[in-house]
Amino acid sequence: MAIHPSNAHLLGPGITRIAVTGFKSLATKTDVEIRPLTVLAGANSSGKSSLMQPLLLMKQTLESNFNAAGPFLLSGPYVEYSKTRQFLSHTGKPDGSQQPLTLEFGFNEGLTAGMVYSGGPGTGLRVVESWGSNTVKNSKWKISKNSTPEELKPMLLQLGSIPLFLLMDQAGFTRASVQDSGFYQSIVFSAPEPPGRIRGESYFMQENLELNSLIRTLIYVPGVRGGQGRKKLLADVTEHGFFAGSFEEYVPSLIFSWVLPSNHPKIHALVDALRMLDLASGISPLMLNESELEVRIPRTRDSADDDFVNIADVGLAIPTILPVLVALIQAAPGQLVFIEQPELHLHPRAQLKLAQLLAEAANRGVRLVIETHSSLLLRGILTEIGKDKISNEKVILHWFERDKETGVSTVHSKEPDPAGRVGDWPEDFGDVELGSDNDYLNAAEGKLFAAKK
């Protein structure tokens, strides 16, 4: 499903499509459109997280100063693996072989970038092939380790790299080959040198560089969050849009930076969000020393300015939702924000209202990917469409199902209509609620009927 070309301007910059083949239960090609408000739903272990984990592998690789042995840093702050066999899809063959991993991304109005990774026993992954395209420039390319200089030169000339060739010729770089560069491939121009000496320059494809930027700025809010620590280290939040490691660790420092006059709209937005969810009437960061701070909220809804308590003293709801709210407010247009179960620890009424905050962020151009099990949150999103608070073309729902016999996941995608209706749906959350209500009524009726006998 793709948005109508006449309304493509509604989506803006950022990642617009993710296609994954060969990652865990996504054994067959899973091609998913990413809109400003993208909802991933489905039963537990149906493949929802598997769609986003390749991006998290890329992000932790880009953020690391460690030179990983393979394309990806397997163990990091976002995902942890010890070997590639733990996430490569099985082919089902008797030899236990695993299929290649293929990733492809659409982004920034007409750009694509794709990579194929393959591995063997004890060798880990390696980049086999990569490609990209630009519909605006009507250009495309494909490279591999087998690409010859005779193939590379006309391809780069077609991409408009004539000045590059002139510079390389002047430097004496007469050879061209393809080498692995992290989880991409680059073209290396080299010159004949005595044995043991290497002189060359690497050329990185423009599509890969732009995708790098989008992945590095991805904000990830995991399902496990809301630690009860009373104080946090002061973090540097001056680099716009880039948060390495746990986003939750930056939340107190971001709130502290919002108290500055230039950022007052953000702190006001956060207070408004807390009030909307009926969680708190205010919020106040406090510096404890030069390196530590804490976040406090009013003890009651009517507390005086000096009657605040640490958020560690108010239960799990506020510490758990705070990273979600801060991410929604902090994210810039085009920035991808992946949130697992934003509804955690929220009262049902607050789950329903949270949809308003998601719609507001999406309308600003933020690209939200929400993984949820909440029927109330989904109902709230559809209600926002029905109220014309967000266009239905900015919203897409993806339902993941996993075959019990093969273990392979499939995805059913739906764009709500302008009234917020989804229509035919593989498994509606509402069916579960309705079945539960019927079971309860039948059980209660049976109990009462038995008591009258």
Question: What average pLDDT does this structure show over 357-373?
Answer: 97
The total number of residues written for the chain in this structure: 453
- What does the pLDDT read at residue 7? 45
Residue 313 neighbours by CB distance under 10 Å: 12
User: Please, are residues 46 and 63 in contact by the beta-carbon 8 Å criterion?
Assistant: no
pLDDT of residue 292 exceeding 50 = yes
pLDDT band, residue 228 (cuts 50/70/90): low
Share of the chain above pLDDT 70, in %: 81
- What does the pLDDT read at residue 9? 44
3-class secondary-structure state, position 113: strand
Domain residue limits, the chain: 1-134+207-217+332-422, 229-327, 423-453
Relative orientation angle of helices 348-363 and 375-386, to the nearest 10 degrees: 50
pLDDT band, residue 134 (cuts 50/70/90): very high
3-class secondary-structure state, position 206: helix
- What does the pLDDT read at residue 188? 79
Alpha-carbon distance 68 to 145, whole Å? Answer: 20
Q: 1-134+207-217+332-422: CATH homologous superfamily?
A: P-loop containing nucleotide triphosphate hydrolases (3.40.50.300)
**CA–CA distance from 276 to each of 11, 311, 391 (Å)?**
27, 18, 22
Angle, CA 326 vertex, CA 321 and CA 328 arms, to 5°: 95
Question: What average pLDDT does this structure show over 301-320?
Answer: 83
- What does the pLDDT read at residue 4? 41
Instruction: Give 165-199 as a 3 state SS string.
Output: HHHHHHCCCCEEEEEEECCEEEEEEECCCCCCCCC
User: Please, are residues 402 and 409 in contact by the beta-carbon 8 Å criterion?
Assistant: yes
